[in-house]
Amino acid sequence: DPTLYEAATIDGAGRLRQTWHITIPGLSTIITVLLLLQIGSLLTIGFEQVFLLYNPMVYDVADVISTYTYRLGLEQAQFSATTAIGITQSIVNFILL
């Protein structure tokens, strides 16, 4: 609301004080919702980036849950383990959401 900024200017608030006391509290609900949505997808981040640079030399340091599941399921054919990992990952994502 422009009147809030106008009132703050009349009261002697500078640009930094206006940002700190008017703009940020106005955006706090949006920031909270976006943060909660990002926390829910925390475990699924990075599969494509890691997978494109993936080779046997970096398995120890570059494995994330998604690439480990991919390697375990498609290369070693351990489908029951990959199913358990996928269900666990989905449950944790749902809890974090």
- Break the chain into its structural domains and give their ranges: 2-36, 42-96
- Model confidence at 9, pLDDT cuts 50, 70, 90, reads very high
- Model confidence at 3, pLDDT cuts 50, 70, 90, reads very high
Give the DSSP H/E element, type plus range, for residue 36.
Answer: helix 24-40
Q: Is the pLDDT of residue 41 over 80?
A: no
In angstroms, the CA 43 to CA 48 distance is 13
Strand segments (E) across the chain:
none
Residues 51, 59: contact at Cβ < 8 Å?
no
State if pTM tops 0.95: no
